[in-house]
């Protein structure tokens, strides 16, 4: 792996964030989700505008991880709600410590905002990853996306 750099996402990064999420969901083969659930969860091309609005929003702090200038992953901190809303790593860069580093970056930012704990709404396939980082499952949540119910785990950690 080349040199990893973390920075605040900019509106011009929206397409890269979209592609990272799309590719990450497309690579899930662990059996927790059906093909219909994965298809509904993958963002379509119109979601790029949603990423732009999130980046420009005062609500979210979005960290982009780059390897040799290419988007490798990202994370979204919703600091008013003390919640990590997303962490996605492009499959090309998975299992290289990028997701762990992104989570640590978001935790540090949350502490800077005065948070003493964080919640994560996690995909079922990522739950064990967050538990390794000290998060504990506190419940579950079903979200309906494009008419398809998708189950997620809710995890919590005191900072």
CATH number of 96's domain: 3.40.630.30
Distance CA 95, CA 37 (A): 24
47 pLDDT more than 70: yes
Residue linked to tokens 């997303």: 86
- 21-36 per-position pLDDT tens digit: 999 999 999 899 999 9
Distance CA 92, CA 139 (A): 31
pLDDT at 123: 96
Segments forming the whole domain that contains residue 33: 4-158
Distance CA 69, CA 66 (A): 5
- 89-104 per-position pLDDT tens digit: 999 999 999 999 999 9
- 120-157 per-position pLDDT tens digit: 999 999 999 999 999 999 999 999 999 999 999 999 99
Number of domains in the chain: 1
Q: Computed from CA positions of residues 149, 76, 18, 98, in that sequence, does the dihedral angle turn out positive or negative?
A: negative
Q: What is the mean pLDDT of the chain?
A: 95
Contacts of 34 (CB under 8 A, 6+ apart): none
44 pLDDT more than 90: no
- Helix and strand totals (H; E) in the chain: 5, 7
Going by pLDDT thresholds of 50, 70 and 90, the confidence category of residue 37 is very high
pLDDT at 1: 66
Encoded tokens for 139: 């419940």
Percentage of the chain surpassing pLDDT 90?
94
E strand or H helix at 104: helix 98-112
Distance CA 57, CA 105 (A): 19
């Amino acid at each position: 792996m080349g040199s990893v750099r973390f920075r605040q996402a900019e509106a011009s990064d929206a397409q890269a964030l979209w592609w990272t999420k799309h590719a990450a969901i497309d690579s899930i083969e662990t059996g927790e989700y059906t093909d219909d659930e994965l298809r509904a969860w993958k963002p379509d091309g119109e979601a790029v505008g949603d990423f732009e609005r999130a980046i420009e929003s005062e609500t979210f702090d979005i960290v982009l991880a780059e390897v040799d200038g290419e988007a490798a992953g990202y994370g979204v901190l919703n600091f008013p709600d003390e919640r990590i809303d997303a962490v996605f790593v492009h499959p090309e860069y998975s299992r290289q410590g990028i997701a762990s580093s992104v989570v640590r970056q978001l935790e540090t930012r949350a502490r800077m905002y005065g948070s003493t704990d964080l919640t994560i709404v996690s995909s079922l396939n990522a739950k064990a990853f967050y538990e390794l980082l000290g998060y504990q499952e506190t419940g579950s949540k079903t979200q309906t996306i494009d008419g398809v119910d998708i189950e997620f785990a809710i995890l919590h950690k005191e900072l």
